[in-house]
Amino acid sequence: MSSHDDRRGAMRIIEVFHSIQGEGPLTGVRTTFVRTARCNLRCAWCDTPYSFGPGRPRTVGSLVREVARNRTRHVCLTGGEPLLQAESRELLRTLSDRGVTTVVETGGSLDVAPYLGIPHVILSVDVKCPSSRMEGRNRWSNLPLLRGEDVLKFVIADRADYLYAKRVLRSYSGPATVVVQPVWGTDAGRLADWVLKDRLDVRMMLQEHKVLWGDTPGR
């Protein structure tokens, strides 16, 4: 890669690591994770509060080279909140030009429209439920923008969250895959029972990386 690439905008990064994707449509796939710094939300059950800090600057070129060293065809851009950083679009376009597919995990409070035209990008967009204490920050205009390859995700802690998700889904008829995921440490079987009883057309998913390694950061 040329020195010109290294002069492009830097991103604020918490960590970059090579692991197994534990969530969403690429669960189980070997992936390079790029965790951006800072978040505009403060979910009560957040499992990565260390991402709230300023991180350190990394050029887009250095991040792309690290992906290449890991020899992964998939990247997960997560946070924090990656949509806070305009440079994330440059990273996604550069990875796309190299044939890399990137899942962008966003908290759902910011506009996803600028990311829709970038090839090889899958959006995983949260709807925050009441237990997060961030349900007032949901950007509902994002939902009609989601495509068939994208994911609409609900993280569920309790019955109130589940009923909230059901109400949202009554008015959602888009093509995105709908995922319900229990807050880690809560009763996953109970959530599965609710889904089965109500015959919801959703994917019930755990966090596979936590099944493998627990809450170890960078795994």
CATH topology (fold) of 3-213: TIM Barrel (3.20.20)
Q: What is the chain's mean pLDDT, rounded?
A: 94
pTM (2 decimals)? 0.93
Tokens of 10: 């830097």
Q: What is the pLDDT of residues 168-200, one digit of tens each?
A: 999 999 999 999 999 999 999 999 999 999 999
Q: What is the pLDDT of residues 27-74, one digit of tens each?
A: 999 999 999 999 999 999 999 999 999 999 999 999 999 999 999 999
Burial class, 172, CB count within 10 angstroms (exposed 0-12 / middle 13-18 / buried 19+): middle
> What span, in angstroms and rounded, lies between the C-alpha atoms of 3 and 192?
51
Find the helix or strand (DSSP H, E) in which 196 lies.
helix 188-198
> What span, in angstroms and rounded, lies between the C-alpha atoms of 109 and 102?
20
- Residue 9 predicted with pLDDT over 80: no
- Residue 155 predicted with pLDDT over 50: yes
User: Comparing C-alpha atoms, which of 166, 118, 170, 172 is closest to residue 143?
Assistant: 172
Please, are residues 137 and 147 in contact by the beta-carbon 8 Å criterion?
no
Tokens of 24: 């969403």
> What span, in angstroms and rounded, lies between the C-alpha atoms of 179 and 201?
9
Q: How far is CA 19 from CA 27, 32, 146, 172, in A?
A: 11, 6, 27, 33
